[in-house]
Amino acid sequence: KKNGGRYLFVTNNSSKSTEVYVSKLNKLGIEATSEDFLTSTNATILYIKNKFPGRKFYSFGTESFTKQLREAGINVVTDREDGIFGIVMGNDNELTFKKLEDACILLLEDIPYIATNPDWVCPTSFGYVPDCGSMCRGYELATGKRPIFIGKPEPTMIEVVTER
């Protein structure tokens, strides 16, 4: 930045908002703003806005994930209801059986199925837990449906990074 350059922090983690990352870096003494970040949620928002503007999606993810989608103008619901056009899925550490069941029921239809990232695991303080890619693999085995992945290393994420 001092030499006029630009950097971008890029993450596949969709369970936390950009603001959480900015706060974390600032606490570590690293100056950062939301403009310095691109999450798989940000890339997913741009993808949905470009491909499916105004359509209603079932949000399968954390409250933070759903809030980010709504604040960006994406029409999302968290209950199965009429008129759902597709599913958008992120890493969900607030998972419930209802969400699992809703996703399986919705995936029986021929609807768009978008996932923030293909990561198999998410690191934790004790090791790893299943991430978005693992959950999507489970849905594939249960329903036969595979999502369109947006996050790294998929080209969609790289295209968004390049544009920014």
Is the model more confident about 58 or about 163?
A: 58
Please give the Cα distance from 89 to 102 (Å, whole number). Answer: 12
Is the model more confident about 104 or about 6?
A: 104
Residue 106: predicted pLDDT? 96
The DSSP annotation for 61-101 comes to: S-HHHHHHHHHTT-EEESS--TT--EEEE---TT--HHHHH
Is the model more confident about 155 or about 13?
A: 155
DSSP code, position 147: P
By C-alpha distance, which of 87, 117, 112 is closest to 99?
Answer: 87
Over residues 95-112, the mean pLDDT reads: 95
Question: Which pTM was predicted?
Answer: 0.87
Over residues 130-143, the mean pLDDT reads: 95
Residue 162: predicted pLDDT? 80
Count of CA atoms in the C-beta half-sphere (13 A) of 56 = 9
Residue 5: predicted pLDDT? 84
**pLDDT class of 157 with cuts at 50, 70, 90:** confident
Amino acid present at 28:
L
Q: What is the pLDDT of residues 19-61, one digit of tens each?
A: 888 898 899 998 888 888 888 999 999 999 999 999 999 999 9
**pLDDT class of 1 with cuts at 50, 70, 90:** confident
The DSSP annotation for 130-143 comes to: E-HHHHHHHHHHHH
**pLDDT class of 126 with cuts at 50, 70, 90:** very high
Residue 139: predicted pLDDT? 95
Residue 14: predicted pLDDT? 79
